[in-house]
Amino acid sequence: MTNHNHSLTQKNILVCVGGGIAAYKVCEVVSHLFQQGANLEVILTESAQKFVTPLTFSTLARKPAYLDRDFWQPVYSRPLHITLGEWADLILIAPLTANTLGKLVHGLADNLLTNTVLASICPIIVAPAMNTEMWLQKSVQDNWQKLAQDSRYHLLHTNTGLLACDRVGKGRMAEAKEIISSIKSIIYSQGKRDLVGKNILISGGNTREYFDPVRFIGNPATGKMGIALANACYYRGGNVTFVAGNIHPDLLKLLPPMPIISVTTAQEMETAMISNFSQADITYMSAAVADVKPLHYAPEKLSKNTLPSSLPLQQVNDIVAKLGEIKQPHQKLIGFAAQTGDIITPAKEKLQRKNLDAIVANPIDKDNAGFATDTNEAVWLDRTGNMNIIKLTTKLSLAHQIIDFSLLQM
């Protein structure tokens, strides 16, 4: 397996900036893509230049940004829109205005951006931004629905919030972090939607077992792996439900629109997983769930001198084993095992004992792997005896590789 630590290295990304105040957010996207090693070209529409100067994007991308006047220059050996269209591995259009949306849907080409789109065959990500009234116009919504039917286009949702017109409503462009996450996923999958029609259930984060209102037994899992899986599945067309155990709100903001069930304890997670399990084609149990909980709970905070010197514990239900018992033949259940030392022997034993289809074993005693990191390494083990070693990579790339292996089992 290749190391996808910088999954964007040497990828050709064409960023097309439309005329809207949200253009300023695209500066952060371009800066990040450059730092990640991507090859960049930037096109600004005429109206985009009224919001952010070409110089800003040229500086961030380390090369001149293209304008409509370049389109009509005879200095290039081949037509510019053909060259750019063939060069691009992925096109991002952000902010997507109502005007450009209408042109894309009807195949119109009256500027460099729209001509380049028609001269290309790569995946296209669009991030709309406009005033709520404009966004909700029937004509705009009709165009948006039509664009959704073209498999080349990957549509980012608009957020609700304070708009530049001072009203609060729908129409805010997706944040830079969301755009970058979608770019990484779609570059990895090359735009293929191999999870369309599949229902995917994912757990992430940790559980907490309290013995008084402020103290608990827990673990340091942050939910980054679960969020990476949810993003990867979503951008490959999956219908994702996410069960979040004590995940920080800033991390949850990285999720595209999907049902999110927030839970605290193992009991709550078990209820959420079991009630959603029967609809799931693939379930990824990536949350770190407590094995034990305090036998007694004190409804008021215990003072220091009333804290017990020993804490009687009881077993918590094994959620993934329970799912393994009720699993139907068409369902795939993938567990996770965070281990120290020998990670393979205990993972193989769990795989059999809990009736899993596969297990992802990862070391938590190595640098840059395990809890709270942005990178991880793992070993994939499945029922048929396959063993795949996944070298240190980003959690998003690891998530995509886990999906690749899961689909081989379907």
- Residue 234 amino acid letter: Y
Strands 358-363 and 375-382, how do they pair? Answer: antiparallel
Closest CA to 115 of 156, 76, 78, 71: 71
Q: Is the Cβ–Cβ distance between 322 and 315 less than 8 Å? A: no
How confident is the model over 382-393, as a mean pLDDT? 92
Whole-number Å distance between alpha carbons of 54 and 69: 12
Closest CA to 153 of 63, 87, 92, 227: 92
- Reduced to 3 DSSP states, what percent helix, strand and coil does the chain have, rounded to the nearest 5? 35, 25, 40
Could you give the 3-state DSSP secondary structure of residue 389?
Answer: strand
Q: What is the pLDDT of residues 189-208, one digit of tens each?
A: 999 999 999 999 999 999 99
pTM metric for this prediction: 0.91
Q: Is the Cβ–Cβ distance between 269 and 287 less than 8 Å? A: yes
Selected catalytic residue, list 16, 27, 122, 165: 165
Mean pLDDT of the chain: 93
How high is the pLDDT of residue 1? 34
How high is the pLDDT of residue 167? 75
How confident is the model over 275-291, as a mean pLDDT? 96
How high is the pLDDT of residue 2? 40
Whole-number Å distance between alpha carbons of 231 and 163: 26
How high is the pLDDT of residue 363? 85
Q: What is the pLDDT of residues 154-190, one digit of tens each?
A: 999 998 877 777 778 888 999 999 999 999 999 999 9
Burial group, residue 267, by CB count within 10 angstroms (0-12, 13-18, 19+): middle
The yes-or-no answer on residue 122 being catalytic is no
How high is the pLDDT of residue 235? 94
pLDDT band at 4 (very low <50, low <70, confident <90, very high): very low
Q: Which domains does the chain have, with CATH numbers?
A: 12-189 (3.40.50.1950), 199-299+308-409 (3.40.50.10300)
The token pair that represents 281 in the structure block: 């084609």
Q: Tell me the C-alpha to C-alpha distance, in Å, between residue 307 and each of 213, 296, 300, 315.
A: 13, 12, 12, 21
